[in-house]
């Protein structure tokens, strides 16, 4: 995949119908999703539990685009190989997940997958300054991770802008995750984000039987983001 900064919409399947992941993934891709975002939670790093490697492996054959796996787990290093083998295209770990995020990124790169590093809202952007050369993406959380449907935290906009400056012309995506909708999308894109995760705002009102709602939701976010 060659690098560019065109806007990508990555629906989070945390907001999908949990009894119907295969059809939900195919529906969002058919309706315009660029990536599929998978939120992995461990009930320890974040107060919620979601998908182990076997679940991610079951999603894989349904994903034709790019499977972006966001690991909200600590420790993270012991599970990297399992999520790589499950078929992730990108693995993103949190900088707060342990004392050695540099080693974590090396481990992700060693699997041959794209590597991302995520920052919680309370973590300063400087936490990733020595890690950028090992990253394909930095994820700026715009809510405290754990649940879909939370309110966007506006103080993260300045963090995105400062990160954009730190990255310069390096081929590193800036992803945002949490509370992204047609109102907040233009703010984060103006600050420098290019990959927009959205759960509630994509799945709201739609279903596999009403996929045209997904199309309208994705289009509305994209148009707002592209201004
Ligand atoms: C938050 C997750 C997000 C979440 C986004 O812990 O990482 O991906 O599902 O959901 P919305 O778009 O509903 O805020
Ligand atoms: Zn996420």
On the question of a cis peptide bond just before residue 75, with omega within 30 degrees of 0, the verdict is: yes
pLDDT of residue 1: 61
The fraction of the chain above a pLDDT of 90, given in percent, is 99
| 198 within ligand 1 shell (Cβ under 6 A) | yes
| 148 within ligand 1 shell (Cβ under 6 A) | yes
What is the Cα–Cα distance from 181 to 219, expressed in whole angstroms?
11
Indicate if the pLDDT at residue 103 is higher than 90.
Answer: yes
Indicate if the pLDDT at residue 75 is higher than 70.
Answer: yes
Residue ranges of E strands in 88-166? 90-94, 114-119, 137-141
| Coil, strand or helix at 71 | strand
Catalytic-role residue among 39, 77, 136, 194: 39
The pLDDT tens digits for 112-145 are: 999 999 999 999 999 999 999 999 999 999 999 9
pLDDT of residue 112: 98
Q: How far is the CA of 110 from the centre of ligand 2 (A)?
A: 23
What is the Cα–Cα distance from 134 to 35, expressed in whole angstroms?
21
The pLDDT tens digits for 142-183 are: 999 999 999 999 999 999 999 999 999 999 999 999 999 999
pLDDT of residue 2: 86
Q: Is 39 a catalytic residue?
A: yes
Task: Please give the model's pTM, rounded to 2 decimal places.
Answer: 0.98
Bridge partners, 91 (sequence order): 69, 115
- List Cβ neighbours of 59 (8 Å cut-off, separation of 6 or more): 13, 21, 22, 25, 36, 38, 51, 67, 87
| 185 within ligand 1 shell (Cβ under 6 A) | no
Q: How far is the CA of 142 from the centre of ligand 1 (A)?
A: 9
What band does 60 get if pLDDT is binned at 50, 70 and 90?
A: very high
Q: How far is the CA of 70 from the centre of ligand 2 (A)?
A: 5
Ligand 1, atom 6, lies closest to the CA of 145
How much is the mean pLDDT over the chain? 98
What is the Cα–Cα distance from 109 to 206, expressed in whole angstroms?
36
pLDDT of residue 99: 98
Q: Which is nearest to 118 in space by CA: 39, 2, 55?
A: 39
Indicate if the pLDDT at residue 19 is higher than 90.
Answer: yes
| 146 within ligand 1 shell (Cβ under 6 A) | yes
CA atoms within 13 A on the CB side of 183: 6
The fold adopted by the segment(s) 8-226 is TIM Barrel (3.20.20)
Bridge partners, 176 (sequence order): 140, 196
- CA of 198, closest atom in ligand 1: 12
Q: Is 34 a catalytic residue?
A: no
């Amino acid at each position: 995949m060659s690098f560019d900064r065109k806007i990508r919409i990555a629906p989070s399947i945390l907001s999908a119908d949990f009894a119907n992941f295969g059809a939900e993934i195919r529906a969002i891709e058919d309706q315009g999703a660029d990536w599929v975002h998978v939120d992995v939670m461990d009930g320890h790093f974040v107060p919620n539990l979601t998908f182990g490697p076997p679940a991610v492996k079951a999603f894989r054959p349904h994903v034709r685009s790019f499977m972006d796996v966001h690991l909200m787990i600590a420790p993270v290093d012991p599970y990297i190989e399992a999520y790589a083998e499950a078929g992730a295209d990108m693995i993103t770990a949190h900088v707060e997940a342990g004392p050695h995020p540099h080693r974590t990124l090396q481990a992700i790169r060693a699997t041959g997958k794209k590597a991302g590093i995520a920052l919680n809202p309370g973590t300063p952007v400087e936490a990733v300054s020595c890690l950028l050369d090992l990253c394909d993406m930095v994820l700026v959380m715009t809510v405290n991770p754990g649940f879909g449907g939370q309110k966007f935290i506006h103080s993260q906009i300045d963090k995105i802008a400062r990160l954009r400056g730190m990255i310069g012309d390096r081929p590193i995506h800036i992803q945002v995750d949490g509370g992204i909708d047609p109102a907040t999308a233009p703010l984060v894109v103006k600050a420098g984000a290019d990959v927009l995760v959205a759960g509630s705002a994509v799945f709201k009102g739609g279903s596999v039987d009403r996929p045209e709602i997904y199309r309208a939701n994705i289009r509305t976010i994209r148009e707002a983001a592209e201004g």
